[in-house]
């Protein structure tokens, strides 16, 4: 079955009190828009249309980064949900298949829920997604007769008896493209807000003798985000679900509530994550690796048996092979460390390659930036880099070479060589006490 997604992302999100469009506020390192679009991918859509409005250029740019094949259309005036969906009419002209309407500020719809909506379409013309609400509040009520959805009653229009119904409307819709836009064309705006409501298509469909039903999902899936408080709540929901999933997959989380994951974090079974670890986007940790406490990882790959931290930072482009050790206060950026390499203390390795079994001493820095350009450092296999070595890139260190402690390396070091590059030490007898006396006298004068 051909599927098209129409994702509504035109809202300003006034309660966010932000210059950023609501759907671009992030959950787990990705905008809400990305979460909603990714959920829809389970249906393998032939077309995706995003309806933008407020700050449409920003929404369009973000959409292009997430899905370059998606079409962005503009809702110049926000005249209701039916009006918003209608903006996709031209983009879907001639499309032969079903349309699923999603919302950019409702990011937690599960794959299985969308699949059940499509399955229900096999026997119904129009499918609505509903949920049993613990506190129905002012949600629209779904009035069912067996499997048949008779009508949607808005809270303000509901009788006392109807308000007792707890099966509520989420807003998601699945319908054949031609039928959907025919129903929308019949929606009016004779209401207090003067808006065109997508919920009205249910009554219109029933009046035309079409079969309408509602599929139920868990209320947590329908969490809509309209304020900073709800955004924080959504982040907590995502993190709790992601942690639980990792635990089920066989990952050890020593203190789960202190570990923060990104929307695309991948961690293999038998990996161990210690407390207070933060994963930014683009991280893969293989089975059996260990990420120690207070480490921060983003855009990196950690192989089997590697140990990272505590207090380590892996930045984008960091690639750690099997059994690599990266210790406390070590930062790796755009660099590869081959199997068995070690950098255990107080080190920065950027724009570099480190060969297998090489040891990087404490205080080592790859001086990769000259103020304009970045340069690479290449370190071979079985190298010993002495503590406090400055490697001024571009520079190459050959296999089994060694640098002396405190060396400033500005030229290539050939294989098996020892590089010593530091100023000769001189001791000046009596000069320390004279210098202290001079400085103390100066300090005393300044206090007068």
* Tokens standing for residue 142: 């779904």
The single residue of 25, 54, 345, 375 carrying the catalytic annotation is 345
pLDDT of 137 = 83
Mean per-residue pLDDT of the chain = 95
pLDDT of 425 = 84
Contact 187, 200 (CB under 8 A): yes
Instruction: Check residue 168 and report its DSSP letter.
Output: E
Q: Confidence class of residue 128 from pLDDT cuts 50, 70 and 90?
A: very high
Work out the average pLDDT over 312-341: 98
pLDDT in tens, 338-378: 999 999 999 999 999 999 999 999 999 999 999 999 999 99
Q: Does pTM top 0.85 for this prediction? A: yes
pLDDT in tens, 52-104: 998 999 999 999 999 999 999 999 988 999 999 999 999 999 999 999 999 99
Residue 35 annotated among the catalytic residues of the structure: no
From the CB of residue 109, how many other CB atoms can be counted at a distance below 10 Å? Answer: 24
How far is C-alpha 257 from the geometric centre of its chain's CA atoms?
A: 18
Work out the average pLDDT over 138-156: 90
Provide the residue count of the chain: 448
pLDDT of 277 = 98
* Residue 1 predicted with pLDDT over 80: no
Work out the average pLDDT over 243-256: 98
pLDDT of 271 = 98
pLDDT of 30 = 96
3-state secondary structure 232-261: HHHHHHHHHHHHHHHHHCCCEECCHHHCEC
pLDDT in tens, 374-417: 999 999 999 999 999 999 999 999 999 999 999 999 999 999 99
Stretch among 144-148, 251-255, 328-332, 422-426 having the lowest mean pLDDT:
422-426
Which residues, other chains included, contact 187 with Cβ-Cβ below 8 Å and sequence gap of 6+?
82, 196, 197, 198, 200, 201, 204
pLDDT of 169 = 94
Residue 334 CA to residue 381 CA, distance in Å, equals 19
pLDDT in tens, 196-248: 999 999 999 999 999 999 999 999 999 989 999 999 999 999 999 999 999 99
Contact 128, 113 (CB under 8 A): no
Which residues, other chains included, contact 31 with Cβ-Cβ below 8 Å and sequence gap of 6+?
23, 24, 25, 62, 66
Q: Counting beta carbons within 10 angstroms of the beta carbon of residue 395, is it exposed (0 to 12), middle (13 to 18) or buried (19 or more)?
A: buried
Q: Confidence class of residue 138 from pLDDT cuts 50, 70 and 90?
A: confident
* Ranges of each domain in the chain: 3-222, 228-419
CATH architecture, range 228-419: 3 Solenoid (2.160)
Query: Where do we find the tokens 């050959």?
Result: 398
Radius of gyration of the chain (CA): 30
CATH architecture, range 3-222: Alpha-Beta Complex (3.90)
Percent of the chain with pLDDT over 70: 100
> Residue 23 to residues 59, 71, 84, 227, 294: CA-CA distances in angstroms?
8, 16, 15, 11, 30
């Amino acid at each position: 079955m051909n599927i098209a997604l129409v994702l509504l992302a035109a809202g300003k999100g006034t309660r966010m009190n932000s210059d950023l469009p609501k759907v671009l506020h992030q959950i787990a390192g990705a905008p809400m828009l990305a979460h909603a679009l990714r959920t829809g991918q389970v249906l393998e859509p032939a077309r995706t249309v995003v309806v933008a409005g407020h700050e449409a250029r920003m929404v369009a740019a973000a959409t292009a980064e997430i899905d370059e094949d998606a079409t962005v259309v503009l809702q110049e005036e926000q005249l209701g949900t039916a009006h918003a969906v209608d903006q996709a009419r031209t983009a879907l002209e001639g499309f032969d298949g079903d349309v699923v309407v999603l919302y950019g500020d409702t990011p937690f719809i599960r794959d299985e829920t969308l699949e059940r909506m499509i399955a229900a379409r096999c026997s119904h013309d129009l499918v609505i997604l509903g949920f049993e609400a613990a506190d129905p509040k002012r949600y629209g009520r779904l009035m069912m007769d067996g499997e048949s959805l008779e009508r949607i009653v808005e809270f303000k229009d509901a009788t006392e008896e109807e308000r007792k119904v707890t099966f509520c409307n989420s807003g998601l819709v699945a319908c054949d493209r031609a039928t959907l836009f025919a129903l929308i064309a019949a929606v009016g705006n004779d209401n207090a807000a003067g808006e065109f409501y997508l919920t009205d298509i249910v009554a219109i469909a029933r009046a035309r003798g079409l079969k309408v039903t509602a599929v139920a999902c868990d209320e947590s899936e329908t969490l809509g985000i309209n304020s900073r408080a709800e955004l924080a709540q959504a982040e907590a929901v995502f993190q709790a679900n992601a942690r639980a999933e990792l635990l089920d997959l066989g990952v050890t989380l020593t203190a789960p509530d202190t570990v923060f994951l990104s929307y695309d974090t991948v961690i293999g079974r038998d990996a161990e994550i210690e407390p207070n670890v933060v994963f930014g986007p683009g991280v893969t940790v293989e089975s059996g690796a260990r990420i120690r406490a207070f480490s921060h990882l983003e855009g990196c790959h950690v192989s089997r048996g590697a140990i990272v931290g505590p207090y380590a930072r892996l930045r984008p482009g960091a690639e750690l092979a099997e059994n690599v050790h990266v210790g406390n206060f070590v930062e790796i950026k755009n660099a590869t460390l081959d199997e068995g390499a070690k950098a255990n203390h107080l080190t920065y390795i950027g724009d570099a390659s480190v060969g297998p079994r090489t040891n990087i001493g404490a205080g080592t820095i790859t001086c990769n930036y000259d103020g304009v350009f970045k340069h690479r450092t290449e370190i071979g296999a079985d190298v010993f880099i002495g503590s406090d070595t400055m490697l001024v890139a571009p520079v190459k260190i050959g296999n089994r070479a060694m640098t002396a402690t405190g060396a400033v390396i500005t030229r290539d070091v050939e294989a098996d060589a020892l590089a010593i590059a530091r100023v000769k030490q001189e001791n000046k007898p009596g000069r320390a006490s004279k210098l202290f006396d001079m400085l103390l006298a100066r300090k005393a004068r300044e206090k007068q």
